[in-house]
Structure 1
Amino acid sequence: MGRRRSGGVGILAVVLVVLSALAVSGQPPIPGRHTDHGRFGAQSAGYPPQPIGVTASAPVSAQAYAGASGGDAVARALDDPDVVRLLGDRPELIGVAEVASKGGAPAAHEVTWYVPGRVGSVVATVAGGRVVDVEEVPAAAWQPPLTGDEVDRAVAIARDAWAADGVDTANLQGFGMHVMDADGSYPSTRMAYVTFAPHVDARPELLTWVDLTAGEVVRTRRQPPGPSPDAPSHTGWSGDAGPPRSGTVDWRGWTFDYAVSGRMDGIALQDVAFRGVRVLERASMPAMTVFYDEDACGPFVDRLGGELTPVDWADGAEVVLREVTVLGEPWLELGILDTLGEYVLYQSFYLGGDGQLDAHTFAKGLQCETDHVHYPFWRFDVDLAGADGDQVVRDTADGEAVMATEFDLPADAAAGHRWAVVDAATGHRVDVAFDDGSWNVPGQVVPEVLYETNTVHGRQYQAGEAGTWRWPAVRDLPQGDPGTAIDDVVLWYRGFLPHTADEGPDLWHSTGVRLTVDLAPGHFVRPRD
């Protein structure tokens, strides 16, 4: 791999697709599963987010992750004179992510910094104990999420600005997160959005836009304080207990690695197999974009996995890994809690011993007092019994139709929302359906009639899309190429999670997508040694 210097990251042109109103599709029956959609219980009963009908839970152990740890990648990068020159005086270390060829062991690490003085990012690839590639990325092309230190600095700048206007913020907490330009693009400087409120579950009272590059406030707005709940009880945990941020799990027929990594794609599953058959190279939620009505604030790109929030219903752990009993059946829960500004987000996977895998997200909080929509993007790199030979199919009135090339469609373009990825050689398949409500907490659940707003995107695998989210804030993925054949399937699923200001900041909202592994008849499960 040769060195290069780049002024961009090859961002695809963004095409915003406006979906028209579509006919409501029927819900496929899922035997033995909870199928209720709607509002459950009172707002006060909405914490913690957990499956309905849980009767027991127990921790599950994870073995040490067998992949490379990243070790001295940062140190090796800082030994490189070109990297040091590009970083300047005030670099913000964002994170370290593994780089591997598909199906192979990690061969390198990407170390990412944001450099305020140069108004952009520096990404160094370290392999074999040395820097083999360096990329300089302009701020307007891409930016990583804010670090904790950047948030603290933004809050301090905002407090000083309000104090200069005679507003005392001493009794208010400050919250900050990265914000995009109004059209969803990355700003040319490092922008933070800061709110002040009595606590994280309260309605924001003071709104502040901070240019961290210039070290100044560029815009402010006051919001009359509205009715807010009591301060949440889920704060103050140490976060030093529980499973590691990366590990290997073997549970009831499932084997996989998981990691919360420098890719900032939440908690991700890697090398997933069920009953001895490889199913997924990777499953992750690279981003959840958020758009507020009339551009009252935002838009935002929520990328999870930075400084995690300890989870009090899991004894202060940063990673939830437990077996739960739901309606008499055992499930494995794997999740993380992240706080971005005044958003509290729980991203999770639930795996059943019968081959079901539910990818889910829970969200609560208001960044400003306005209706808005969250768009979670899940990415599933499906490798049934290997990377090649997989096909995306959708149900139609005439049977299953093969989607041979890249596509972008409403989820209900398949009859009954029934999509699948099928391995042509073995007959193994992964069925894809909308979440059936099993994991929805008390609060507002996206009703079935709104699942027509979800979208499905079929892509041929590209290594450049396997890592950190590099697109702006978008409602839909950039369009695929209908001339590109799909053989190594990557399936993107974009959900729809609306939140009205009237519902308040402490009401949990949830949505998800469910995969079911269906192994071909006659598949022989090898006994364990």
Structure 2
Amino acid sequence: MPNTKTGHISWGSWEFDYNVVGFEGLSLLNGTYRGRNVIGKFSMPAIRVKYRVDGGYLDWRRPLSKGAGPYADRLRWKLGGLYGLQQIANRGWQYVGLEDYIRDGVQWMEISIYGRIGAYHLSQQWHISEDGWVLPRLWSKGLTINMDHQHHPYWRLDFDIDGTDHNRVFKRNFGKWSSYTTEVNDNKHFDPRAETAWFVRNEVTLQGAWIFPGPKDGTVDNFSRIDVGIRRFNAEEELHPWRYEKAPWPHDTWNWQFDTGGLLQDNGESVNDTDVVFWYVSHMVHHANEGNDHWGSSGPFIKFALDVPPRLPPPRFGIDIDVLRNQTGNDTKVRGWGFTPGGTVIVTLAGVPKRGQIRNYVSADSSGKFVMQRQFAHTSRNPDDAFGTVDVYGFDVTTGLMAHDFVTSAYWVG
């Protein structure tokens, strides 16, 4: 992944652009899934932060550790320093990181950025699966002062299900459905048994996407009063979605760090059968006694429900595994066939003792075949480290097809 603020991703059943432009963090744009339009623009324009006690005029309580903020933190393409993006150590020291992984036998991809805003460390991530899930996530750690506080990330989700028009948002509580007719702010039901969920649907094609609250998304308070906001798309509001409130002098012109406003109020426009924007807000509590290095996370679950049959694999598509034991460990050889000629294949070995998931990127030859070989050395005397069942997956990045096999053999890894 190049260290650039914009780019294009073609991965399995997904195609989308990404950028880090303005103050919206890492955005996904112009997204398609299995050939259908689904994403106009997904972004995270702000993270509002509220300490138990405000900082007061010019944040005067902050140096005394008696209060701080409130703040509206934003991630942008400013590289390095205490107020910029950081190179991600476990993503090849890139500013925009990309990672593939397997979860429950399904291929996932993570695209992320990692920023500093003073004492705060913020990792903004999008997790995308081959079977149609998108998980927006914010991870945060750090304390401006030693006091309990809350982070309220605001995700702007501009769904374009089968195009920009004819979209509508529905809400479910206790199995009963209703729909929004005009712009509105709303909340989850206070009773978790309601299993609140939302569904964005194209009223012509009847295709859509679910939005489920995350288990760590918290509840509203007097500072951040909403869980969702339903808006009609407006180009001007896309550029300026925030209700700006001036801070005291010398910040009496709008300053992103000292802004205490919130999402623009709805103005009663119709959201029936049109281009809609779905705002989602979570409420992460950071208790000071958890420490400066405690990472907290939150974010919703999005599932695209499209009536598109999955691609069928060719008649001969699969992998097999050979393991050759030797005096120092073993050689593992994975062969594949039926993959996209010249295409990229992600070969993942899951379950190797002490290694977790091991990924290898190989290219299929002109006939769609590949061979991947890896040696594992014996460096442990613990017999529990020497044997195990290892699952092996071959993911065709072009088609999104996945082959699976497993082997039970000696894996010596220290």
| TM-score range for the pair, normalised by the shorter chain length | 0.5 to 0.7
Pairing 1:360–2:137 present: yes
In structure 1, list runs of 5 or more residues that go unmatched: 1-60, 62-241, 437-445
What whole-Å deviation, never above 9, does each CA across 1:185-238 have from its counterpart, x for those lacking one? xxxxxxxxxxxxxxxxxxxxxxxxxxxxxxxxxxxxxxxxxxxxxxxxxxxxxx
2:276 alignment counterpart = 489
CA distance, structure 2, for counterparts of residue 376 and residue 418 of structure 1: 19
Change (3 A) 1:328 1:474: farther
> Which amino acid is 2:283 matched to?
F
Structure 1: distance between partners of 2:219 and 2:132 = 23
1:465 and 2:237 matched: yes
| Greater RCO, 1 or 2 (C-alpha within 8 Å, sep 6+) | 1
**Contact 1:287 1:469 (C-alpha < 8 Å) held by counterparts:** no
How far did residue 250 of structure 1 move?
0.8
Match of 1:349 among 126, 144, 161: 126
Q: Which residue of 1 aligns with 2:74?
A: 303
Secondary structure of 1:466's aligned partner: helix
Matched, 1:519 2:300: no
Say if 2:5 is the partner of 1:245. yes
What are the superposed Cα offsets for residues 446-478 of structure 1, whole Å, 9 maximum, x if unpaired?
3x7x35776111000011122365434457523
CA displacement, residues 101-121 of structure 1 (integer Å, 9 cap, x when unaligned): xxxxxxxxxxxxxxxxxxxxx
1:385 to 1:524, Cα distance in 2 relative to 1, 3 A: farther
AA paired with 1:492? W
Structure 1 position 379 matched with structure 2 position 156 = yes
Distance 2:197 2:297 in 1: 21
In the alignment, what sits opposite 1:332?
109
Question: In 2, distance between residues paired with 1:456 and 1:488?
Answer: 16
Inter-partner Cα distance in structure 2 for 1:503 and 1:475: 28
Q: Which secondary structure does the structure 1 equivalent of 2:40 belong to?
A: strand
What is the identity, as a one-letter code, of the residue corresponding to 1:508?
W
User: Which letter does structure 1 place at the counterpart of 2:29?
Assistant: Q
- The change in CA–CA distance for 1:336 and 1:521 in structure 2 (over 3 A counts) is closer
The equivalent of 1:271 in structure 2 is 30
User: Could you tell me which amino acid in structure 2 is paired with residue 463 of structure 1?
Assistant: A
Partner of 2:200: 421
Q: 1:276-287 to 2 correspondence within 5 Å?
A: 276-287=35-46
Question: Aligned pair 1:501/2:260, yes or no?
Answer: no
1:181 is matched with which residue? none
C-alpha change, 1:521 and 1:277, in structure 2 (3 Å) is closer
- After superposition, the Cα gap between the structure-2 partners of 1:457 and 1:470, relative to the gap in structure 1 and judged at 3 Å, is closer
Percent of aligned pairs sharing the same letter: 28
Which of these two proteins has the greater Rg computed from alpha carbons? Answer: 2
Q: 1:313 aligns with which of 50, 73, 90?
A: 90
Contact 1:265 1:469 in 2 (8 A): no
How has the CA–CA distance of structure 1 residues 418 and 398 changed in structure 2, closer, same or farther, with 3 Å as cutoff? closer
Supply the AA of the counterpart residue of 1:301: A
Instruction: Give the unaligned 5+ runs of structure 2.
Output: 55-66, 80-84, 245-258, 315-397, 400-414
Indicate which of 275, 279, 293 corresponds to 2:52.
293
> C-alpha separation between the residues in 2 aligned to 1:368 and 1:360?
24
**Once the 2 structures are TM-superposed, how far is the Cα of residue 382 of structure 1 from its aligned partner?**
0.9
1:393 equivalent in structure 2: 170
**Alignment TM-score, normalising by the size of structure 2:** 0.62
Contact 2:173 2:189 in 1 (8 A): no
Partner of 2:14: 254
When residues 452 and 412 of structure 1 are mapped into structure 2, their CA distance, relative to the original with a 3 A threshold, is farther
| Structure 1 residue identity aligned to 2:121 | V
Can you list the C-alpha shifts for 1:291-320, whole angstroms capped at 9, x where unaligned? 111211111111102321111111211111
CA contact (8 A) 1:412 1:452 kept: no
The alignment status of 1:402 with 2:179, answered yes or no, reads yes
Please give the alpha-carbon distance, in whole angstroms, between the structure 2 residues aligned to 1:456 and 1:278. Answer: 23
The question of 1:369 aligning with 2:146 is answered yes
CA distance in 2, matches of 1:467, 1:427: 30
1:375 deviates by 0.6
Shift of 1:524: 9.4
Once residues 523 and 480 of structure 1 are traced to their aligned partners in structure 2, the CA distance between those partners, rounded to angstroms, is 39
Would you tell me which structure has more strand in proportion to its own residues? 2
How many Å separate the matches in 2 of 1:259 and 1:375?
22
Give me the whole-angstrom Cα distance separating, in 1, the residues matched to 2:74 and 2:155.
12
Does the 8 Å CA contact 1:359/1:514 hold for their aligned counterparts?
yes
